[in-house]
Amino acid sequence: MGIIKKIVIALLMVFVVSLSAQTQNDSLLIKGKMYIQHTVKPTETYKIISKKYNVSINDLKSSNKNVKLYFNQQLLVPVKSTFSERILFKSRQLESTSIIGVKKQSDTLNIALLFPFYTTKNDSLLSFLAKSQQLKEDVYKKSYMALSFLEGVIIAIDSLSKTGMKINLFVYDTENDTSKVQQIIAEEKLKNIDLIIGPAYQKNLLIVAKEYGKNSDKTIVSPLSKNSNVLKYGSNIYQIIPPEKVQIKNISDYISEKYKDERILILAQKKNEKHAKEYKKVFRKNKRRVKIRLFDGFTDITKDTICTFLSNNKYIVLIPSTDRSFVSKIIPVLGTIDTNMTVFGLYNWGSFENLDIETLMKLNVHFPNPYFFDYENKLNKRFVMLFKDKFSELPDKYAQLAFAECLYFCTNKGDYKFKKYYQRGGKLNYNLPLVKYSDYSIKKVD
């Protein structure tokens, strides 16, 4: 990995853009603190203004050096903000150009995070996070994922700084817009970057991969996409989440090792016939009995139609589908059948909150989970503690994944196992934890 040599000699420092004061609409950032600029109206007092913005009179006065109020005065109103919110404020105001001119140091690692923060779709960056004073309903919901990921990166960088690393963090808002990504590249904002994380979505990630995928001085990480096409554009591209084909191979290997006598039934949508045949091909090589039932629609998913494929034997039931509607239809039906079975799904089943957990436990449902987070792990426990201290809440799956990715690509330590996916292309993570529903929770399978 091209950046590892640089990391080995890194010294202590975490660097993010610093400004003395910048404005954005009615918002101000002064010496790292966020303010709203309020124009004093006739008859307004400190008490009236403090109630309006839900801040204490003392904080309001101290922020304005206890000056006497007068009509049309520009008053600074302190507001709560998180570290990630302030980074985004700076990034949006300057479009990150202020740090491009910083002299690059040989012992410093430059990281760029390209995610869709959708800053233009929010009235103010103060509406982004839960700690802001605006209602949650006012927040553009598609911003949450990017902000959570950024917070995970921030905790990782905080931790790395304490080990003696210098890291420059550059944050770019792609807004999930190809023209925005093309502009970032055209303005050479990624020219001096060592580690590029993102963009999150495939169409934008391809733009960056085509431009820098063969640049040996850079490492590009596909953080969330499972589409492997991006790996064709360079050997220095790394993908975290494997496509369905790899998930199916991992599941097949596990079943071949752990379940040697059970019969195998594959239930799939017609559109997933390719995945069903991939399963069947693997097990036929091992001379395992396999049946396939394909469904064109949902009306024929009934207890009777499925039971015609079952006997009194033990069964492994494979459902190679990521379709929420299909899975939500077929799981309750399987739950009504008395046959002893173990069900295997795909990676996104853990996000299907409408599924009944008792049914999932009854069916012994297994699925690969790239977002699995072991709360018993010592490093993860520390991450949760640091996250709560900084952001006053528990990290979600995107923050957890960001923390793991950032640590791995900055230290080459972690649970990922990368192998080449295409002969002349990038590397894919083949370490995909298999989990199951047990005791009303998701647990890693041994």
Q: What is the pLDDT of residues 106-129, one digit of tens each?
A: 468 889 999 998 877 655 444 444
Is the bond leading into 395 cis (omega within 30 degrees of zero)? Answer: no
Range with lowest mean pLDDT among 74-83, 343-352, 366-375: 74-83
* Between residues 276 and 14, the one the model is more confident about: 276
**Do 216 and 251 fall into the same domain?**
no
**Do 13 and 63 fall into the same domain?**
no
Select from 334, 369, 404 the last residue of a domain: 369
- The set of residues, in sequence order, having a beta carbon less than 8 Å from that of 430 and lying 6+ positions away, is 242, 246, 250, 417, 418, 419
Q: Is 434 left (phi over 0), alpha (psi -120 to 50) or beta?
A: beta
Q: What percent of the chain has pLDDT over 90?
A: 27
The verdict on residue 395 lying in a domain is no
**Do 193 and 281 fall into the same domain?**
no
Which tokens in the block code for residue 158? Answer: 């905080």
- Tell me: the pLDDT tens digits for 28-42? 555 546 677 788 888
The closest of 384, 379, 355 to 367, measured between CA atoms, is 355
- Tell me: the pLDDT tens digits for 182-218? 999 999 999 888 899 989 999 999 999 999 998 888 9
Select from 324, 344, 369 the last residue of a domain: 369
The verdict on residue 187 lying in a domain is yes
**Do 322 and 248 fall into the same domain?**
yes
The verdict on residue 60 lying in a domain is yes
What is the rounded CA–CA span in Å between residue 252 and residue 198?
30
The closest of 4, 370, 374, 378 to 159, measured between CA atoms, is 378
**Global pTM?**
0.72
Residue 239 β-bridge partners: 222, 428
**Do 111 and 203 fall into the same domain?**
yes
Q: What percent of the chain has pLDDT over 70?
A: 81
Give the CATH number of the domain where residue 248 resides: 3.40.50.2300
The verdict on residue 374 lying in a domain is no
Q: What is the DSSP letter of 415?
A: S
**Do 258 and 321 fall into the same domain?**
yes
Sign of CA dihedral 387, 388, 390, 391: positive
* Between residues 377 and 10, the one the model is more confident about: 377
- Could you list the residue range(s) of the whole structural domain that residue 253 is in? 244-369
**Do 10 and 36 fall into the same domain?**
no
The pLDDT of residue 287 is above 60: yes
Q: Say how many Å lie between the first and final Cα of the chain, rounded.
A: 30
Select from 337, 369, 401 the last residue of a domain: 369
Q: What is the DSSP letter of 221?
A: E
Number of domains in the chain: 3
Q: What is the DSSP letter of 421?
A: S
